[in-house]
Amino acid sequence: MLKTAADIIAQAADIGADESLDLLEVPPDPALGDLATTVAFALAKHLRRSPVQIAAEVAERVKTAIDAEPLFERVEVKGPYINLFLDRAVVARFVINAISETGPSYGRTRDFEGKRALVEFPAVNPSKPWHIGHARNAVLGDTLCNVLEMVGFEVIRLDYINDLGLQIAQLTWRLMDGDLQPEKGEKYDHFLGRVYVDIQRDFESDPAVERAVREVARQLEIPDSDEARFSEKMVSECLKAQCQTAYRLGIYHDYQVWESSIAHSGLLDIAKKMILKCPSVMILQEGEKAGCIVAKLDDLEEFKGMKDPYKVLFRSDGTRTYTGADLAFQMWKHQIIEDPFRYVEFEVQPNGKPVYRTTLEGHRHDLGKVDLVFNVIAAAQAHPQRLIYNILELLGYKRESENSHHIAYEFVGLEDTEFSGRKGTWIGYTVDDVLDRAEEIARIEVEKRNPDASDEFKNRVAGQVAVGALRYFMLNASPDRKITFRWDSVLDFEGDTGPYLQYSYARAQRILERAGDEGEGGDATLLVTPYEFALVKALSRFPYEVVQVVRGLKKEVRGTAFSSNRLTEYAFEIATLFSKFYDNCPVLKADGDLRRARLALVRAFRDTIRNCLQMLGIPVIERM
RNA sequence: GGGGCCGUAGUCUAGCUUGGAUAAGGCGCCAGCCUGCGGAGUUGGUAAUCCCCGGUUCAAAUCCGGGCGGUCCCGCCA
């Protein structure tokens, strides 16, 4: 449609087709037209004549051209703007046919078929329950995967489990003797989180505690120590509890890479040997960093003139820094380093698929080469992420460096405080707490509308509404903007929210149910009211919107922006247009052909919003 | 000191990449639509120096320069 319009205008105004496409826009009010071109402004410059005059002349030539083009009905000039009107009947038939032919796969494209992507998220420490900040990461990551799959990518969903961190050492130290146990009914991740906040006080005030914990941390690095064995059980149990939260949100993974595997599989040694071959990596002989393996950053244009250009990858005692481990991990993700991991099944997820974890004993898996790697990490980590990608380039892996993406997002905070693991300010704001509370509120609403339904139904729908509300809330905010958590906005199910979308689907579904099997086919050329046509036009944009978001995944200084909000915005737009159509165009009460035509439009909307919701991970609810 | 991000009605946000018609939406508030396919809806109204100053341009919320305010980041830490 766009292309046809652009070609006609290009002919009429004597400009290039690409330029013409750039000059196309959608008028602010549909009454002005469906498409507009600002070509008159562009020409006014060279021709040194009034754009209004030029518009009139170009429009004359456009007018004769569209007489031969069934897609367009007429052209109008409004000052310097040339506005095109689509032939509603022709477009409606075209769009509705296209959607009904593809149905469940409408929105899927093959733009990136054959490409593979690896996405890491959310990498929560296995020492506490997920709080709502983690939910932002997880929901963004999961939705990114869905979106990539929509455009043809094969996606590997990966989680990183830091089972060797200081937090784990603290918990191991405190819990190993077994005198502390979860309270009755307490989820294990919540239990650890509670204990962890307690330990913090002692750890920070009592040097003896700190020494003891450091010793445990050292023991954890030894694979068969008592500490390591206890810790593995503790971490597994915590992770299983955390997974329950993930599953509530509809989030699943393919693999977990545990830090202990990175440490003991030989990955680090291989990486160390490989990077030492690079001229920009060296062991410093003197200075404050003597004995460290460092990357010399000012060999890169970007870091020219740094005071201290040396970034430590391995300390003088031979141990890895975060950057060092992360670099090795990133090399592994790109399969620059041959996979040293063994894998075992961690558990079977509710979606029926197993998630595998890395171990030292188990079988090998071939993950294969990937084209793109995405790390979903807070925006605050932009600098360390960039370092890793830059060092990758220093090592000679330019392509892998370019194909490494940091999906950056801002924190979720409270009105006056940030979430802090140490201070325990997250207490009361775990994902479980938020979902529980949202479910309670949703349950009241479901009860109001379906007093006679079963408890099973009410609870299920309340859960789906709660998840829909939370996921939408996270996705609808532009990732580079901080979210201030307020209960009333998460618990709001009206207006620009997830439940509104779910409701619009349920409404459409009810109409179709009541219509039964009748009304197949139908003559879409009857759909010419502004309400119907606005919906038709919007539905036709779905595949384009998805591809646009993927094309928008470009590298920037701050990381790679993923405009999840464009997708929620689109979903909200079609749901709103459907509501307006619903209020203005009776479907079941219409007669004959018109009824069948409108049913076809409802079906097209239903298919589109369903595919959209699935992509966003918002539960599709048949009745609510 | 250097760098990133943010600043838009009472409030929360979208739009900024690629300049274009009356700055869009949610919440709030006011007034309608329930003997209409489900009111988690819809119609109308209210409400903005688009942080400030300057520049580029026929045209700036959008691009450029300089400020101001908020926030994050720049360790052999984790």
A422 CA to B31 C1' in angstroms comes to: 51
* A408, closest nucleotide (Cα–C1'): B5
Q: Give pTM, 2 decimals.
A: 0.96
Distance, CA of A470 to CA of A441 (rounded, Å):
13
Scanning every strand, the nucleotide with its C1' closest to A448's CA turns out to be B40
Adjacent-strand bridge partners of A86: A72
Digit-coded pLDDT (tens) for A34-90: 999 999 998 988 888 888 999 999 999 999 999 888 999 999 999 899 999 999 999
The answer, yes or no, to whether residue A205 has pLDDT greater than 90, is no
Query: Are the CB atoms for A329 and A392 separated by under 8 Å?
Result: no
For the cut 70, the answer to whether the pLDDT of residue A169 exceeds it is yes
Average pLDDT of the segment spanning A534-551: 96
Identify the bridge partners of residue A359 per DSSP, sorted by sequence position: A342
Contact A169, A213 (CB under 8 A): yes
Whether the Cβ atoms of residue A125 and residue A427 lie closer than 8 Å to each other: no
Give the list of residues 6+ apart from residue A270 with CB closer than 8 angstroms, or none: A328, A337, A338, A340
Least confident of A232-241, A326-335, A442-451, A521-530: A521-530
Among the ranges given (A172-181, A369-378, A432-441, A572-581), the one the predictor scored with the smallest mean pLDDT:
A172-181
Please state, in angstroms and rounded to a whole number, the distance separating the CA atoms of residues A3 and A7: 6
* A396: helix, strand or coil: coil
Residue A320, nucleotide of least CA–C1' distance: B76
Structure-block tokens of residue A527: 């759909």
Q: Residue A294 phi/psi, 5° resolution? A: -130, 160
In angstroms, the CA of A406 and the C1' of B4 are apart by: 14
* Interatomic CA–C1' length for residue A608 and nucleotide B35, angstroms: 34
Q: CA A162 → C1' B72, Å? A: 24
CB A376 within 8 A of CB A122: yes
Q: Of all nucleotides in the shown strands, which has a C1' nearest the CA of A577?
A: B42
C1' (B4) to CA (A383) span, angstroms? 9
Encode pLDDT of A285-318 as tens digits: 988 899 999 999 988 877 877 888 999 999 999 9
Structure tokens that stand for A168 in this block: 């784990």
**CA-to-CA distance for A384 and A390, rounded, in angstroms?**
10
Backbone angles phi, psi at A344, to 5 degrees: -130, 160
Residue A181 phi, psi dihedral angles, 5° rounding? -130, 155
Average pLDDT over residues A218-241: 95
Between CA A450 and CA A621 the distance in angstroms is 14
3-state DSSP assignment of residue A319: coil
Q: Closest residue by Cα to the C1' atom of nucleotide B71?
A: A482
Could you report the per-residue pLDDT of A89-120, keeping only the tens digit for each? 999 999 999 999 999 999 999 999 999 999 99
**Burial of A38 per CB tally in 10 Å (0-12, 13-18, 19+):** middle
Length A42 CA → B8 C1' (Å): 29
DSSP reduced 3-state for A313 = strand
* Nearest residue (CA) to C1' of B20: A38
Nucleotides of B strand lying within 7 Å of any protein CB atom:
3-6, 12-15, 17-18, 20-22, 25-28, 37-43, 58-59, 71-78
Taking the C1' atom of every nucleotide in all shown strands and the CA of A316, the nearest one is: B76
**A230, two tokens:** 């206890």
**How far is A462 from A458, CA to CA, in rounded Å?**
6
- Smallest CA–C1' separation from A589: which nucleotide? B37
Q: Average pLDDT, whole number, for chain A?
A: 94
The answer for residues whose C-beta is within 8 angstroms of residue A296's C-beta and 6 or more apart is: A280, A281, A282, A309, A310, A394
Using alpha carbons, select from A572, A602, A575, A539 the residue that is nearest to residue A107: A539
Burial A348-359 (b: 16+ CB within 10 A, else e): ebeeeeebbbbb
Single out the residue of A146, A48, A47, A30 nearest to residue A91, CA to CA.
A30
Task: Please choose, from the candidates A515, A524, A538, the residue with its C-alpha nearest in 3D space to the C-alpha of residue A587.
Answer: A515
| Burial grade of A506 (CB within 10 A; 0-12, 13-18, 19 or more) | middle
H or E segment and range at residue A24: strand A24-25
A573: which nucleotide lies closest, measuring CA to C1'?
B25
The C1' atom of B55 and the CA atom of A66 lie apart, in whole Å, by 43
Q: Is omega for the bond preceding A80 within 30 degrees of 0, making it cis?
A: no
Q: Which nucleotide is nearest to A580 (CA to C1')?
A: B42
The average pLDDT across A216-238 equals 95
Q: Is the pLDDT of residue A519 over 60?
A: no
Q: What is the pLDDT of residue A521?
A: 67
Q: In the predicted model, what is the mean pLDDT of residues A574-600? A: 93
DSSP A549-586: HHHT--EETTEE---HHHHHHHHHHHHHHHHHHHHHS-
Closest CA to A446 of A454, A620, A571: A454
Q: Give the CA-to-C1' distance from A565 to B14 in angstroms.
A: 9
ipTM score of the complex?
A: 0.96
Mean local confidence (pLDDT), A189-210? 91
A429 CA to B72 C1' in angstroms comes to 22
Report the pLDDT value the prediction gives residue A422, as an integer from 0 to 100.
81
C1'-nearest nucleotide to the CA of A290: B76
CA–CA dist A59, A613 (Å, integer): 41
The separation, in Å, between residue A552 CA and nucleotide B58 C1' comes to: 31
CB A580 within 8 A of CB A531: yes
Provide the CA A321 to C1' B77 distance, Å, integer. Answer: 10
Are the C-beta atoms of A321 and A314 separated by less than 8 Å? Answer: yes
For residue A378, report the phi and psi dihedrals to the nearest 5 degrees: -55, 150
CA distance A198 to A540: 55
Residue A257 sits at the vertex; the CA angle it makes with A254 and A261, to the nearest 5 degrees, is 145
* Interatomic CA distance for residues A96 and A525, integer angstroms: 10
The pLDDT score that the predictor gives to residue A303 is 81
Distance from C-alpha of A412 to C-alpha of A73, rounded to nearest angstrom: 49
Instruction: List, as own/partner pairs, every contact residues A45-54 make where C-beta atoms lie below 8 angstroms and the sequence separation is at least 24, other chains included.
Output: A51/A80, A52/A79, A52/A80, A54/A80
Burial A612-621 (b: 16+ CB within 10 A, else e): bbbbbbbbbb
